[in-house]
Amino acid sequence: MTIAGNLFGNIPAELPSELEELLAQGRRFRLKRLVSRGHQTDWYDQDENEWVTLLSGAAQLEFEQQNFIDLAAGDFLLIPARRKHRLSWTDPHTESVWLALYFD
């Protein structure tokens, strides 16, 4: 089966919380599209590695012990499993569109 779409399409005008959409998955991975607009998240402490890339917008991730990483469109980051982190800021005036790949 072929599935097609647009990573910048079908974004609701109102985003009361960060939007997560599963795009593909296999036995050992999941690929999601995330859309943020002025959102923050709670802390994540995941069993999987997470590779993220920011396709549009701007964001800041916070790691334990107040380490921050600012991301702009085109930036990517590999977050190892069990590395506690959270989304501390995204641009409130535009969509921050992400791809997130979760894997063992």
Compute the average pLDDT of residues 44-60.
97
3-state secondary structure of 67: strand
Q: How many domains does the chain have?
A: 1
In this prediction, residue 15 carries a pLDDT of 85
Compute the average pLDDT of residues 40-48.
94
Which tens digit of pLDDT belongs to each residue from 67-101?
Answer: 999 999 999 999 999 999 999 999 999 999 999 99
* Residue 31, in any domain of the structure: yes
Triad 84, 89, 95: Cα angle to 5°: 120
* Residue 97, in any domain of the structure: yes
* Residue 76, in any domain of the structure: yes
Q: With cut-offs at 50, 70 and 90, classify the pLDDT of residue 66.
A: confident
Q: Residue 93's domain is classified under what CATH number?
A: 2.60.120.10
* Residue 2, in any domain of the structure: no
* Residue 8, in any domain of the structure: no
Q: What is the CA radius of gyration of the chain?
A: 14
- Can you tell me which residue has the tokens 């402490």? 45
Give the global pTM: 0.90
Which tens digit of pLDDT belongs to each residue from 2-35?
Answer: 778 899 998 998 888 899 999 999 999 999 999 9
* Residue 42, in any domain of the structure: yes
Domain span at 45: 19-103
In our burial notation (b when 16+ CB lie closer than 10 A, e otherwise), range 65-91 reads eeeeeebeeeeeeebeeeeebebbbbb
61 contact partners, CB below 8 Å, separation of at least 6: 68, 69, 71, 77, 79, 85, 86, 87, 88
Please tell me what DSSP assigns to residue 44: B
